[in-house]
């Protein structure tokens, strides 16, 4: 940070989410700024920046200050920046990318730590994104249910995630990956590696069943958890503008892009950061 910068963190909801003002991300962040932003992410689970019109190289440099960018399994990145994918819905389309509550790619053995999204084109209205606090989702369960969930693991599969590859070119945009099917089992209750807090770690987009149980046997409890974890009081809503950035912690937050802007164009650039094996 420079002497002239005055960083301000403004929470946007009671459950999670904060906007960070007074910082220009086009300049490489120093160690103090990186530490401040990381602390804000851990405290608020998702953080937002406004008016950051970064070139792809600048966006990637900012992301690298917080982790290792990794390529997305099913979508080919930009030609000169393979770690940046374009998330796009065009005027003639009626379905959007990732349009369901989820944690990113939990069907991988090592899911991402977090993701960053930078708005390039947005509709005049609509296209907001919802976020939900999985710490609160876990902590508000009864002691009896928390004890029941503690030893359980859940199987997550990419086949269930077809809803998140909904544009007509998504499956073929990275043909070698499109033919693959991923599956991974993770704890139903995940301990965050930095905060030590426990979070509910199942999601309706990817979670198939509990390990050792059938899908039919798992469905009643999973359906309850899917509904519980996105109660309004656990959520925040972010309205995009060109140059807005969202940075969320995939280990303890879910997100859901709202598909309410048919006939309009929305283009975002996204970077995913490598994570660790859930425990």
**Residues known to be catalytic:** 102, 104, 255, 270
Q: Kindly report the length of the chain.
A: 279
Nearest to 125 by CA among 261, 231, 16, 238: 261
Partners of 118 in beta bridges: 245, 269
State how beta strands 46-49 and 18-21 pair. parallel
Sign of CA dihedral 201, 203, 208, 214: positive
């Amino acid at each position: 940070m420079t002497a002239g910068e005055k960083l301000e963190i403004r929470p946007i909801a009671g459950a999670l989410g904060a906007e960070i003002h007074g910082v220009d991300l086009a300049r490489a962040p120093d160690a103090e700024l990186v530490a401040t932003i990381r602390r804000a992410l851990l405290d608020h689970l998702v953080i937002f920046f406004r008016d950051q019109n970064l070139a792809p190289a600048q966006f990637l440099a900012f992301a690298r200050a917080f982790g290792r960018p990794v390529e997305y399994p099913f979508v080919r990145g930009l030609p000169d920046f393979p770690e940046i994918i374009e998330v796009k819905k065009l005027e003639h389309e009626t379905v959007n990318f990732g349009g369901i509550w989820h944690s990113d790619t939990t069907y991988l053995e090592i899911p991402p730590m977090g993701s960053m999204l930078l708005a390039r084109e947005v509709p005049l209205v609509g296209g907001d994104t919802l976020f939900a606090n999985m710490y609160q989702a876990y902590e508000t369960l009864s002691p009896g249910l928390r004890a029941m969930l503690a030893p359980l693991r859940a199987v997550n599969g990419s086949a269930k995630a077809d809803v998140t590859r909904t544009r007509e070119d998504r499956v073929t945009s990275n043909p070698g990956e499109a033919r693959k099917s991923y599956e991974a089992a993770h704890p139903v209750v995940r301990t965050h590696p930095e905060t030590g807090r426990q979070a509910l770690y199942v999601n309706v987009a990817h979670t198939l069943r509990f390990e050792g149980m059938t899908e039919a046997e798992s469905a009643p409890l999973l359906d309850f958890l899917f509904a519980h974890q996105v109660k309004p009081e656990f959520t925040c809503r972010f309205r995009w503008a060109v140059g807005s950035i969202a940075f969320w912690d995939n280990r303890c937050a879910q997100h859901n892009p709202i598909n309410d802007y048919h006939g309009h164009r929305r283009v975002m650039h996204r970077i995913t950061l490598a994570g660790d094996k859930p425990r």
